[in-house]
Amino acid sequence: MLIISSFAVMHLLVAAILISVVSFANAFTRNDFPPNFLFGAGTSAYQVEGAAKEDGRKPSIWDTFAHAGNAGQFEGNGDIACDQYHKYKDDVKLMAKMGLDAYRFSISWSRLIPHGKGPVNPKGLQYYNNLINELTSQGIQPHVTLHHWDLPQALEDEYEGWVSRRIVKDFTAYADVCFKEFGDRVKYWTTVNEANGGAQGGYGFGFLPPQRCTLPSIYNCSKGNSSTEPYFAAHHMLLAHASASRLYRKKYQVKQQGLIGLNLLVFGLIPLTNTSEDIIATQRTQDFNIGWFLNPLIFGKYPSTMEKNVGSRLPIFTSRESNLVKGSIDFLGVNFYSSFYIKNNPGSLKKKNRDYIADMAVEVKPYSGNGTFADELPVTPWVLQGMLHSLKNDYGDFPIYIHENGQLTGRNSSLDDWPRVWYLHEYIGGMFDMLRNGLNIRGYFVWAFLDVFELLNGFERSFGLYYVHFEDPTLRRQPKLSAVWYSNFLNDRPVDSKITMKTEENSSVLANTHLVHIAT
Ligand SMILES: *[C@@H]1O[C@H](CO)[C@@H](O)[C@H](O)[C@H]1NC(C)=O
Ligand SMILES: *[C@@H]1O[C@H](CO)[C@@H](O)[C@H](O)[C@H]1NC(C)=O
Ligand SMILES: *[C@@H]1O[C@H](CO)[C@@H](O)[C@H](O)[C@H]1NC(C)=O
Ligand SMILES: *[C@@H]1O[C@H](CO)[C@@H](O)[C@H](O)[C@H]1NC(C)=O
Ligand SMILES: *[C@@H]1O[C@H](CO)[C@@H](O)[C@H](O)[C@H]1NC(C)=O
Ligand SMILES: *[C@@H]1O[C@H](CO)[C@@H](O)[C@H](O)[C@H]1NC(C)=O
């Protein structure tokens, strides 16, 4: 999960709190959704597994990053995390009890192939076989991501990971092991999580592993080149994805009957004003954020706005590569959390050594929505709907899985996580509208199943449906209100009509919110 850095620095709104008891009735039920529409929840390997040094696992760039004290403003690392490595059986029981159709998780490349290439670690293989078997025995579909930002450190050390074209071969070999060993039971493969977020954050801004950048005022990266490397990294992600996808289609797909896709972080983008400059700038931002990947994946080339503004720093696909990349997704995974206002900023194109943002030639301001509090993510299902309609217009009608969507709260705040309940209620209700309006959405995964180790938030703030008692050596899991709500929804049980909600006293914002509509 990526929270753009401006969210990481938002402060809690201090306000008087009053407790009110309100009715909360769903206008929809699980049965209103098509029977094959999937509801799930997700995690990723480094954030949930723990056992970082056990059974032959070697470090990833995320271990290195977290151990250097880079997990946001806070301490923490994934050495133990939720210890799902040892507790997967109990966790799968909780998932089954909750009624999840599917669990989205990622494979730790350096657990399966500790040095990134070469021999497979039998203990790693066994772990993922156990987890997958446990899931399928409970009727829960495994949806597997191959790369969730945790590149084996060995490959970073050897050739600078995604910056080098050499990654394509090693990633394909890793994917081959996964398809071969797990593909009889895994029918949904995502090659790269938030490919766009990883390329920007890891190689442009430097706030994600491997923390390469040349923007000294922000993260003081020791290596990198923000003018070029985000584009190289993205290019190699596309080639690696396409190579793995071709392999899957040639060697496995007919027999295993699965699908392969890629995942992008989709932001809501709203022109700051209705001037044509800002409207065009917003489209250009969409080209840089989404078209960067989807144009090659659908049309075999980068958007012309990128070719124009990035110029010779934008890598070029040979015609063979272009044909390889084009058409290489069966579905798109979408992670959606936040939205931005976009203002045209042509002046940035005059800069020397431009980075990604300067190339985009826009100013970006966080959008806080019209019915939310400052410390939480805005609840804007209509923005997601608008973005998905624009993707459909621009790129065609391929299947979409909402891979991540969820609400951030203080990790140790109350178990009565009503902001998360509200958020899920609104977005799941929104899904229903989106399907009715003809969007080809096939599933929705809450981020996250548990309070995992969060990038940029460490263990301080979290998205989990389940609270984890980190102070307790057993790392006991406890359902939050949102877990109960989701479970009731999934099991088509009536959702509690009385929910105690904390509302901010006298918030003028609140008076306009849907919360009040459903509350009365
Ligand atoms: C980067 O270095 C500058 C100057 O030494 C320092 O003021 C700043 O706090 C550093 N930033 C980070 C994120 O460490
Ligand atoms: C980044 O790479 C470009 C193109 O090779 C080069 O012109 C520029 O000087 C490099 N920037 C830094 C900070 O090294
Ligand atoms: C832009 O136009 C729309 C539709 O006419 C209107 O609803 C919106 O308020 C306008 N936005 C701004 C910032 O003027
Ligand atoms: C939550 O965690 C913070 C930081 O560790 C701590 O200062 C605070 O007292 C904790 N709050 C509760 C309710 O435990
Ligand atoms: C409530 O809102 C009114 C009008 O904006 C303001 O005058 C008043 O001070 C607010 N009260 C509190 C407790 O914030
Ligand atoms: C917020 O604004 C959007 C767009 O103007 C509107 O569609 C939506 O209904 C509003 N939501 C609330 C809760 O007021």
Which tokens in the block code for residue 230? 């985000």
Query: Which residues face 147 on adjacent strands?
Result: 192
Name the residue with the closest Cα to ligand 5, atom 7.
506
**Which among 490, 449, 446 has a CA at the least distance from the CA of 466?**
449
How far, in Å, is the centroid of ligand 4 from the Cα of 510? 27
Domain boundaries, the chain: 2-295+327-519
> Which residues, at least 6 apart from 141, have a Cβ–Cβ distance to it below 8 Å?
38, 40, 101, 102, 103, 135, 187, 188
Task: Classify residue 311 by its DSSP letter.
Answer: G
Length of the chain: 520
How many angstroms is it from 367 CA to the middle of ligand 3? 15
In which residue are the tokens 């609140």 written?
A: 510
Quick check: CB of 220 below 6 Å from ligand 1?
yes
Task: Report which DSSP code applies to 458.
Answer: B
Q: DSSP 3-state assignment of 262?
A: strand
**Candidate from 14, 373, 503, 506 with most ligand 5 atoms within 8 A of CB, to mutate:** 506
**Which of the ligands is closest to the CA of residue 509?**
6
- Cα–Cα nearest to 151, from 203, 115, 182, 178: 115
**Measured distance CA(222)–CA(215) in Å, rounded:** 10
283 CA to centre of ligand 3 in angstroms: 16
Q: If you search the block for the tokens 């990723």, which residue do you land on?
A: 44
Nearest ligand 2 atom to alpha carbon 225: 1
Q: Which residue has the tokens 């696909």?
A: 317
Compute the distance between CA of residue 374 and CA of residue 13 in angstroms, rounded to an integer: 6
For ligand 6, atom 6, which residue shows the shortest CA distance?
382
Instruction: Give pLDDT tens digits for 363-406.
Output: 999 887 655 445 688 889 999 999 999 999 999 999 999 999 99
Write out the two tokens for 347.
């002046």
Ligand number with the minimum distance to the CA of 422:
6
Three-class SS state of 446: strand
Average pLDDT, the chain: 88
Long-range contacts (CB closer than 8 Å, 24 or more residues apart) made by 294-297:
294/264, 294/332, 294/391, 294/394, 294/395, 296/238, 296/322, 296/325, 296/326, 297/238, 297/262, 297/325, 297/326, 297/327, 297/328, 297/329
- Nearest 5°: CA angle at 251, between 144 and 104? 5
Q: Hey, whose CA ends up nearest to atom 2 of ligand 5?
A: 506
* C-beta 437 within 6 A of ligand 5: no
pLDDT of residue 132: 98
- Identify the active-site residue in 194, 229, 426, 454: 194
* Ligand 3 atom with least separation from CA of 272: 13
Ligand nearest to the CA of 14: 5
In the prediction, which pLDDT does 512 show? 26
> Ligand 6 centroid vs 170 CA: distance in angstroms?
47
Residue 344 in tokens = 């045209």
Among 49, 160, 376, 404, the one annotated catalytic? 404
Q: How far is the CA of 515 from the centre of ligand 5 (A)?
A: 20
Looking at residue 416, what is its pLDDT? 81
Q: Is 513 in the pocket of ligand 6 (CB under 6 A)?
A: yes
Measuring from atom 10 of ligand 6, which residue has the nearest CA? Answer: 370
> What residues are in contact with ligand 3 under a 6 Å CB criterion?
273-274
- Predicted confidence at residue 15, as pLDDT, reads 29
Distance 33 CA to ligand 6 centre (A): 23
Q: Is 33 helix (H, G, I), strand (E, B) or coil?
A: coil
487 CA to centre of ligand 6 in angstroms: 27
Going by their DSSP bridges, the two strands 498-504 and 477-479 should be labelled as: unpaired
pLDDT of amino acid 26: 59
Structure tokens at 496: 């509690």
**Ligand that comes closest to the CA of residue 15:** 5
pTM: 0.88
The whole-angstrom separation of Cα 199 and Cα 210 is 10
Q: Is 398 helix (H, G, I), strand (E, B) or coil?
A: coil
Determine whether 75 is an active site residue: no
Cα 89 to ligand 4 centroid, rounded to whole Å: 30
Residues with Cβ < 8 Å from 352, sequence gap 6 or more? none
- Please name which ligand lies nearest the alpha carbon of 275: 3
Please identify every stretch of the chain with a pLDDT value under 50, giving residue numbers as ranges: 1-23, 73, 372-373, 497-520
What is the model's pLDDT at position 412?
66
340 strand-pairing partners? 269, 366
Catalytic residue at 454? Answer: no
> What tokens were used for 276?
């044509």
Domain 2-295+327-519: top CATH class: alpha beta
Report how far Cα 228 is from the mean position of its chain's Cα atoms: 24
Between the alpha carbon of residue 110 and those of residues 127, 129, 255, 470, the distances in Å are 13, 16, 27, 25
> Which ligand 1 atom minimizes the distance to the CA of 219?
13
In terms of C-beta density within 10 A (0-12 exposed, 13-18 middle, 19 or more buried), how is residue 316 classed? exposed
513 is written with which tokens?
A: 């919110």
Which ligand 5 atom sits closest to the C-alpha of 16?
Answer: 13
